[in-house]
Structure 1
Amino acid sequence: MTVYSTPPDLPDMADLSQPTLVDLAPEQGDGDNITDWCLEEFRAHYRDETITKDDIWEYLYGVMHAPDWRERYRFDLQRNLPRVPFAPDFEAFRRAGRKLMDLHINYETVPEWELTCLVDDKPDEGASDPDAYRIAPHKKMRWGKDETDKSEDRSVFMVNDRCRLVDIPPEAHEYTVSGRSPLEWAIDSLRWKLDKPSQIDHDPNGWRAWADEPFNLIRHLRRLVYISVETARTVKSLPPSLVDSKRDPL
């Protein structure tokens, strides 16, 4: 059985008088995004009056990372609001959703993945001069190169010509947002950009988090790897979200 975020026969997607999972027009101030109708539906289906709106919100976040759900509705998600199933194991998705929310919301304070930082080919934990950790002017961070065939080596992350992070695990590339891993987003967003109208250079080294302590950029990149790996592992641990899913054992 599937609960729809909007009824499938709803003629006007802007008609907020119909029952929905989330409040599409919340009032100002703090409040619940999960509707009372949604809470009643979940409690009735799972026969559990202790389920809360926070539980449902965490469950939804978990389900939306489920591989079988994302595959089934990959085309629908491009044009409709998501369809949410009553997964066989509510608690598994609630726990996973809680963990994923903690990872993604607290990305600035999660633990650092233990990557080796090399500066001038020597292990370094912040003892070098500040420029060793800064993004070079008008250059982007990049992946390393395989020494044998010069192909891209994604186990190595080049911050600049002097500084690199090594031993990045393959799992760090499995979790993507809009087709890019967190490290790929870092390459694209943390770079020098020239604003043509004003001719002002936007220097990523001036970001508050590492302007005064450049090694914080290394810590930030390590945290991105931690988030990526832990997200990938959590997603792999999820049971099927759809009753008729056929999924190979992990």
Structure 2
Amino acid sequence: MGNLYIFQSRRKAGRDLTHWHLNYESIEPYPVEEVKTDLFLNDKDYLVEKMVFGKNRKEVDKTTIIYNKKITLSAIPLKAYEYIVNGKSALEWIMDRYKVTKDKKSGIVNNPNDWSDDPRYIIDLVKRIVRVSLETVKIVNSLPDLNEK
């Protein structure tokens, strides 16, 4: 493999990664299964307090995220967790940051449900981050080894 091939493949990978990472809010959400307790949900049913992983017996099941009491996301590919940002998967960052918290000193409540007028914003964001993570892993894994001749 020549330096030109390596350069061109890395340039294409950079462009593709730029597309996915800059447009994450407008890309098609990954078709994660939404399991709902009710047939019809209203806007308030999409509010999130704190997302947690499902459990399979006593073990954590990362293919499932309990979004709230009425919605569970399942069939999340484990490959999506291979995209790591500062020691944590992108999905785990979303789960950590998109939860209601209250500052102990000031009493100020940080509520991610207030950040958008779209009641589905957070749930669709999770699904979009699954897609971005999968595409990122696919692109990075397709890069040629710099030591290949």
Common topology (TM > 0.5): yes
C-alpha separation between the residues in 2 aligned to 1:134 and 1:200? 18
Q: Which residue of 1 aligns with 2:11?
A: 94
C-alpha separation between the residues in 2 aligned to 1:242 and 1:195? 50
- Number of aligned residue pairs: give it: 148
Render the CA deviation track for 1:127-149: whole Å, top value 9, x for unaligned: 4122222113xxx2111111xx2
CA RMSD of aligned residues (A): 2.0
Render the CA deviation track for 1:174-201: whole Å, top value 9, x for unaligned: 1110111111001111111212332111
Letter in 1 for 2:48: I
Against the structure 1 CA distance between its residues 206 and 89, is the aligned structure 2 distance closer, same or farther, given a 3 Å change threshold? same
The answer on whether the counterparts of 1:141 and 1:157 sit within 8 Å (CA) in structure 2 is: yes
Q: Which residue of 1 aligns with 2:143?
A: 238
Matched, 1:142 2:52: yes
User: Which has a greater percent of strand?
Assistant: 2
User: Which has a greater percent of helix?
Assistant: 2
Render the CA deviation track for 1:196-227: whole Å, top value 9, x for unaligned: 3321111111112xxx3312221111100000
Q: Which residue of 1 aligns with 2:98?
A: 190
Against the structure 1 CA distance between its residues 87 and 173, is the aligned structure 2 distance closer, same or farther, given a 3 Å change threshold? farther
C-alpha separation between the residues in 1 aligned to 2:148 and 2:140? 18
C-alpha separation between the residues in 2 aligned to 1:116 and 1:102? 25
> Which residues of structure 1 form unaligned runs of 5+?
1-45, 47-85, 245-250
If asked which structure has higher relative contact order (CA below 8 Å, sep 6+), I would say 2
Q: Which residue of 1 aligns with 2:68?
A: 160
Q: Which residue of 2 aligns with 1:58?
A: none
> Which residues of structure 2 form unaligned runs of 5+?
none
Identity of aligned residues (%): 34
TM-score (norm 2): 0.90
Question: Equivalent of 2:125, from 203, 220, 226?
Answer: 220
Rg larger for: 1
The answer on whether the counterparts of 1:116 and 1:165 sit within 8 Å (CA) in structure 2 is: yes
The answer on whether the counterparts of 1:87 and 1:240 sit within 8 Å (CA) in structure 2 is: no
Q: Could you list the structure 1 runs, at least 4 aligned residues long, displaced by more than 4 angstroms after superposition.
A: none
The answer on whether the counterparts of 1:88 and 1:241 sit within 8 Å (CA) in structure 2 is: no
